[in-house]
């Protein structure tokens, strides 16, 4: 299948970030190292057999100075056989506003899926070359809104969400240069299993046992009454 121009641009521009809790050490415009930035893939929980579940990946700048980002890309993955699949990712982050606030080049759909749905990549760059988003101290912005489905019969428990290391995971400044990443911390999705439904044969057998037990009970009461001495 022929690759679209947008897909080629995303592949050529590959700054990627993500995960459950991602702590980054970023570089500001002055060339001094800023305090460790925090990127968080917000926690989520879902029931087996559900679709359209979601969570956001957000970037928080703890300061003290402002942070300038010209592009980013995100990769998240889960192991095969966990029952979780990713349909894609968009810019619809909430309540934290999307980092490029409608001025990204690739929105609203910024995700692509591989690995049978177990891997989701999302990326975007600011639509004006040489510019981007300035994130103030203590501000939080959204990077991507991730959706996921859970297969029926999936057992309860946490599923690890893995963040791809650098260079797959990275950020870019206004001029397209790499913004160094300090630490990536993986996260998880909590699954709520659904109790299994008895097969029809099991239900019928239970009904028969209940009915036979009821008949035996009433027959026993009748025999006890018939043996009582006359007054």
Question: What confidence score (pLDDT) does residue 102 get?
Answer: 84
Beta-sheet pairing, 170-172 with 71-77: antiparallel
Question: What confidence score (pLDDT) does residue 195 get?
Answer: 43
Question: What confidence score (pLDDT) does residue 229 get?
Answer: 52
Q: Cα–Cα distances in Å, from 42 out to 73, 131, 206? A: 17, 28, 45
- Burial profile 72-98: b = 16 or more Cβ within 10 angstroms, e = fewer: bbbbbbbeeebbbbbebbbbebeebbb
Instruction: Please check whether residue 73 is in contact with residue 59, taking contact to mean a CB–CB distance below 8 angstroms.
Output: no
Question: What confidence score (pLDDT) does residue 168 get?
Answer: 84
Question: What confidence score (pLDDT) does residue 10 get?
Answer: 52
Three-class SS of residue 137?
coil
Give which of 64, 71, 68 is closest to 34, Cα–Cα.
Answer: 64
Domain 5-192 sits in CATH 2.60.40.680:
yes
Distance CA 8, CA 4 (A): 6
pLDDT per position in the chain (231 positions), as tens? 444 444 445 544 443 333 333 333 332 333 333 435 566 667 899 999 999 999 988 887 877 888 888 999 989 999 999 999 999 999 999 999 999 988 999 999 999 999 999 999 999 999 998 999 998 988 988 988 999 999 999 999 999 998 888 888 888 889 988 877 666 778 789 999 754 444 555 444 454 445 545 544 445 555 544 444 554
The CA-based diameter of the chain, rounded to the nearest angstrom, is 109
3 has which bridge partners? Answer: none
Give which of 129, 142, 150 is closest to 42, Cα–Cα.
Answer: 142
């Amino acid at each position: 299948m022929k690759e679209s121009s947008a897909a080629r641009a995303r592949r050529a521009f590959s700054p990627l970030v993500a995960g459950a809790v991602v702590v980054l050490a970023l570089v500001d415009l002055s060339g001094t190292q800023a305090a460790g930035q925090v990127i968080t893939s917000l926690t989520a929980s879902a029931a087996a057999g559900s679709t359209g579940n979601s969570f956001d990946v957000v970037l928080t700048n703890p300061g003290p100075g402002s942070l300038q980002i010209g592009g980013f890309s995100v990769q998240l993955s889960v192991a095969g056989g966990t029952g979780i699949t990713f349909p894609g990712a968009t810019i619809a982050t909430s309540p934290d506003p999307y980092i490029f606030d409608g001025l990204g080049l690739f929105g609203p759909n910024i995700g692509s899926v591989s690995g049978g749905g177990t891997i989701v990549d999302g990326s975007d760059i600011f639509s004006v070359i040489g510019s981007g988003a300035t994130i103030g101290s203590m501000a939080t912005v959204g990077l991507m809104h991730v959706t996921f489905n859970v297969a029926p019969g999936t057992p309860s428990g946490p599923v690890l969400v893995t963040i791809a290391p650098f260079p797959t995971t990275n950020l870019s400044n206004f001029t397209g240069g790499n913004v160094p990443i300090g630490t990536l911390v993986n996260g998880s999705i909590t699954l709520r299993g659904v109790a299994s439904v008895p097969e029809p044969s099991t239900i019928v057998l239970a009904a028969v046992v209940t009915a036979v037990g009821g008949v035996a009970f009433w027959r026993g009461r009748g025999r006890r009454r018939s043996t009582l001495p006359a007054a």
